Amino acid sequence: MTSSAQSSISPRLKMLLAWVLVLAVLTGVVAWIGPDRLLAPWRLISLPALGIALILMVLSYALRALRIQRYFIHELRGQFWPTLKLSTWHILLNNFLPMRTGEISFPILMQRYFTLPASRTVPVLLWFRLLDLQAIVLLGLLAAIWGMGLPDAWAILVIILVPAPVLIFLARHRVRRVIAARPDGKWRGLLLGSVDSLPQSIAHFLATLGWTWANWLIKLLTLAWVLSHVAQLGLAAALAGAIGGDLTTVLPIHAPGGFGTFEAGVVLALQPFGLDATSALAAAVNLHLFVLGSSLLAALMVLLIKVPGQTGQEREPRQDF
C-alpha cells in the first residue's frame, strides 16, 4: 500500500475507531444508569412544554443566522433563509464532528452558497467565537456568584470581561498600524485581514454583540429549563450545568458527537450543588440528547431551503452599516 493511500485511509479509520469507542462508552453509561431511570424524567414533561423548548432552540439558530447575515450585510442582503440553512448545518457539524473540525464547514459553506472566500469569513468566525466565549463565561460567572455564593472578588472577572470586546474594537486601528509596519510576509497579510474583518462602525459592532447575547440568553435559559426538569434542580444550578456542557462545544476539546466531553462539562458544573454522581450523569446525558435532537430537527427543517448558485459574478465591495 502506498503512503498516499495510507494517509487517505488513516483519518477515516481514526474517526471510525473514535466513534466506536464513544458509542461503547455511551452504551456502558446507559447500562449503568439504567434505561428506565434515564427516560423517566421525559415522562414528566408535557409535550407542549417540550415543543416550546424545541421552538426556542430553533429560534436561537435563527438568531445565529441573523448575526451572520447582518455582519455581511451587503453580501447577504435578502438571503436570510439560505443563511439559516448555512448556520444550522454549521451547528450540526460542530455538534457531531470531533475537535472543532465542524468549524471548517463555515468557510466552505460561505464559499459555496455566497462565493465569499475563506480569507474573508475565517477571521469573522474567530471574532464570533471570541464573542461567544465571552457571553458563556460571563453568564457562567454570574450564575456561580448568584447560585453558589462566591465571594464578591469573583466580580472582578466580570468587570474585566464585560468591556473586553469594546476594547478590541476601539484598538483595531492602532493594532492595524502596528501590523502594517511589520515586514511584508504571509502572517502580516493574514493578521491584517483579521483586523480588517472586525466591525468597521459602532452600529455594526453593537449589532453583532446584541445578536450574540440574544442567542446565548435564549439557548442557555432553554437548556437550563430542560435540565431543571430532568434533574429537579433550581434555576441557578441548572444554568451552571447548561453552561458547563455548552462551554465544551466552544473549546477545542470536543469528542465525536460531544459524547463524554459534554457530559463531563455538565457533571463538573453541577458538583458544587450536591447532586449525586448517577443523577448528575443521567441529567447530563438527557440534556445532551436534547441538544443533539434539536440540532438534527433543525437541520431537517432547513433541508429544502434553496441556496444561491455559484454564478461566478464578482460581488461589490463590502459596505458596513
Q: Are 114 and 79 in contact (CB under 8 A)?
A: yes
204 vs 312 pLDDT, higher one: 204
Domain range annotation of the chain = 58-301
pTM, two decimals, is: 0.82
Least confident of 160-174, 197-211, 236-250: 160-174
315 pLDDT above the threshold of 50:
no
Judged on CB neighbours under 10 Å (0-12, 13-18, 19+), 5 is exposed
Looking at per-residue pLDDT, the higher value among 148 and 252 belongs to 252
**Residue 53, phi-psi category: left (phi > 0), alpha (psi -120 to 50), beta (remainder):** alpha
Question: Is 175 a residue whose pLDDT tops 50?
Answer: yes
- Single out the residue of 29, 25, 28, 21 nearest to residue 280, CA to CA: 29
By percentage, how much of the chain surpasses pLDDT 90? 36
Return the pLDDT at 314. 40
> Alpha-carbon torsion 162, 164, 167, 168, what sign?
negative
pLDDT of residue 38: 74
Summarize pLDDT for 73-115 with one digit per residue, the tens.
Answer: 889 999 999 999 999 999 999 888 877 788 999 999 999 999 9
Question: Would you give the distance in Å from CA 288 to the centre of its chain?
Answer: 14
Range 140-164 average pLDDT: 74
Through-space distance between the first and last CA atoms of the chain, rounded to whole angstroms: 56
Does the structure show a pLDDT above 70 at 193?
yes
Please state at what angle helix 3-33 crosses helix 277-301, rounded to 10 degrees. 120
Alpha-carbon span 169 to 301, nearest angstrom: 36
Q: How many angstroms separate the CA atoms of 6 and 189, rounded? A: 35
For residue 23, what is its C-alpha cell? 458509542
More confident residue, 101 or 228: 228
Of the pLDDT bands very low, low, confident and very high (cuts 50, 70, 90), residue 44 is confident
Q: Which residue has the higher pLDDT, 31 or 237?
A: 237
